[in-house]
C-alpha cells in the first residue's frame, strides 16, 4: 500500500466556544517500534470530541494534549497501511483495525497491542441482555428513535417537569439502574431521584461544567442504599463481546454520516441537541 508524505487533517483553531476545525495538510508519521500505521476510513464524532475542541472541560483542567497537534477524534476505523517489523507477527498490511485518539486525519500511528475495532446503542444492548428500558431525552424525533430501538417508554424532559414521578409511573418504585450518557449537569442532578432503593447510577457522559455533581445529600444515599459507578472505556474482551452483539444482529448503530470537512457543522448541531444516533465522518477513500 502506497503511503503519502502528507495528509488532510481537521485541526483545532482558537479557544472556547469560538474554536473551529480547519482542514490542513500535515505530515504522515512513520510507525515506530511496537506501532502500526492505520489509514482511517471512518471516524466517530462524539460529545468528548466536542468538549475537547470547544474547551468545555477547561474549568476542570481538561484540555487536548499538546502531542495531539490540535487533532481530535478517538473512534477511528480503517486498514493497516504500514507495520513496524517488530509487530509483523500481529498485523499485516490490509488488515482492518480500530483506533483511538487523533482520528480526525487520514493516517494515524497507533500502538499495535491496543488497536481494536452510546445512548442509542445502550438501549439496544440493554434490551438484548433482557432488560426493560425507559429512555429519557428531548424532542419528538428522539422519541421515535428510542422506541424503534427497543425502549418500552420514552420520557421527554422538555415536556416533563417531574421526571422521577414519571419513571415511577412505569416502575412503581423507581429504576433498578440509571445509565447517564448525556454530559449535561442536569442529567446528573436528577439521576439519583430516578432510582428505587439499592439502585445504581452509572456515569458515562462527562460534564464539562465545574458545578456538575451527582446531586443528593449523603443521608439520601445512606437511606436508599444507592450505589454509584463510572465507566469511560471497556476492556478488549468487552469490545469483542460488544461486537458479537452486532454480528448476531442484536444491535444496529444508527448513523448520521458526513465528511471530515463537516466537523464544525456537526459540533453546532450536537451543541443544540439536534443529532440522533452517532455522527460518523468519512475520512479517507
Ranges of beta strands (E only) in 63-174 are 76-83, 96-99, 107-111, 134-137, 153-156
Strands (DSSP E) contained in 34-140 are: 35-45, 76-83, 96-99, 107-111, 134-137
Alpha-carbon distance of 23 to 237, in angstroms, equals 35
Q: Strands 175-180 and 278-282, how do they pair?
A: unpaired
Buried b (16+ CB within 10 A) or exposed e, 75-105: bbbbebbbbbeebeeebeeeeebbbbbbbbb
pLDDT in tens, 2-13: 899 999 999 999
Pick out the chain residues at pLDDT < 70.
Answer: 114-118
Beta partners for 14? none
Report pLDDT digits (tens) over 185-228: 899 999 999 999 999 999 988 887 788 888 788 999 999 999 99
Who contacts 176 (Cβ-Cβ below 8 Å, separation ≥6)? 195, 196, 199, 200
Q: Which three-class secondary structure state does DSSP give residue 27?
A: strand
Looking at residue 277, its pLDDT comes to 83
The CATH fold assigned to 119-230 is Rossmann fold (3.40.50)
Which of 150, 202, 204, 205 shows the shortest CA–CA distance to 176?
Answer: 202
Non-local CB neighbours of 26 within 8 Å, separated by 6+ positions: 6, 7, 9, 11, 69, 71, 105
CA distances in angstroms from 91 to 19, 40, 84, 264, listed in the order given: 37, 16, 9, 34
Dihedral of CA 279/255/248/204: which sign?
positive
Of the options 3.30.559.10, 3.40.50.300, 3.30.450.20, 3.90.180.10, the CATH number for the domain spanning 6-117+254-282: 3.90.180.10
Q: What is the dihedral of CA 103, 106, 112, 115, to 10 degrees?
A: 40
Find residue 180's DSSP bridge partners.
203
Q: Is the full-model pTM beyond 0.75?
A: no
Question: Is the Cβ–Cβ distance between 24 and 104 less than 8 Å?
Answer: no
What proportions of the chain, in percent to the nearest 5, are helix, strand and coil? Answer: 30, 30, 40
Q: DSSP assignment of 149-206, as one string?
A: TT-SEEEETTT-S-HHHHHHHHHSS-EEEEEE----HHHHHHHGGGEEEEEEEEE-S-
Residues in the chain: 285
pLDDT confidence of residue 117: 41
> What pLDDT does residue 247 have?
86
**3-class secondary-structure state, position 76:** strand
Helix, strand, or coil (residue 207): coil
Long-range contacts of 234-241 (CB under 8 A, 24+ apart): 236/114, 236/116, 239/116, 239/117
Per-position DSSP letters for 160-176, written without gaps between them: -S-HHHHHHHHHSS-EE
Q: Residue 217: in which H helix or E strand, if any? A: none
- Helices 140-148 and 119-128: crossing angle in degrees, nearest 10, is 30
Domain ranges of the chain: 6-117+254-282, 119-230
Amino acid at each position: 500500500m502506497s503511503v503519502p508524505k502528507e495528509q488532510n487533517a481537521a485541526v483545532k483553531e482558537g479557544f472556547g466556544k469560538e474554536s473551529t476545525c480547519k482542514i490542513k495538510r500535515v505530515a504522515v508519521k512513520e510507525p515506530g517500534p511496537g506501532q502500526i500505521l492505520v489509514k482511517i476510513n471512518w471516524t466517530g464524532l462524539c460529545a468528548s470530541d466536542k468538549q475537547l475542541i470547544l474547551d468545555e472541560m477547561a474549568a476542570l483542567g481538561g484540555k487536548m494534549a499538546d502531542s495531539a497537534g490540535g487533532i481530535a477524534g478517538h473512534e477511528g476505523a480503517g486498514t493497516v497501511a504500514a507495520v513496524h517489523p517488530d509487530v509483523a507477527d500481529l498485523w499485516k498490511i490490509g488488515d482492518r483495525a480500530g483506533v483511538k485518539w487523533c482520528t480526525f486525519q487520514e493516517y494515524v500511528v497507533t500502538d499495535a497491542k491496543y488497536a481494536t475495532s452510546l445512548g442509542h446503542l445502550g438501549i439496544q444492548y440493554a434490551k438484548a441482555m433482557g432488560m426493560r428500558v425507559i429512555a429519557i431525552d428531548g424532542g419528538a424525533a428522539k422519541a421515535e428513535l428510542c422506541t424503534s430501538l427497543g425502549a418500552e417508554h420514552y420520557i421527554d424532559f422538555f415536556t416533563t417537569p417531574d421526571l422521577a414521578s414519571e419513571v415511577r409511573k412505569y416502575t412503581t418504585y423507581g429504576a433498578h439502574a440509571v445509565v447517564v450518557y448525556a454530559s449535561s449537569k442536569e442529567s446528573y442532578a436528577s439521576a439519583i431521584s430516578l432510582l428505587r432503593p439499592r439502585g445504581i447510577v452509572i456515569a458515562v457522559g462527562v460534564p464539562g461544567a465545574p458545578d456538575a455533581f451527582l446531586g443528593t445529600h449523603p443521608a439520601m444515599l445512606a437511606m436508599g442504599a444507592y450505589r454509584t459507578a463510572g465507566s469511560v472505556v471497556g476492556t478488549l474482551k468487552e469490545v469483542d463481546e460488544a461486537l458479537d452483539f452486532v454480528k448476531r444482529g442484536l444491535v444496529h448503530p444508527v448513523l448520521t454520516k458526513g465528511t471530515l470537512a463537516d466537523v464544525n457543522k456537526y459540533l453546532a448541531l450536537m451543541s443544540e441537541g439536534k443529532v440522533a444516533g452517532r455522527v460518523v465522518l468519512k475520512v479517507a477513500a
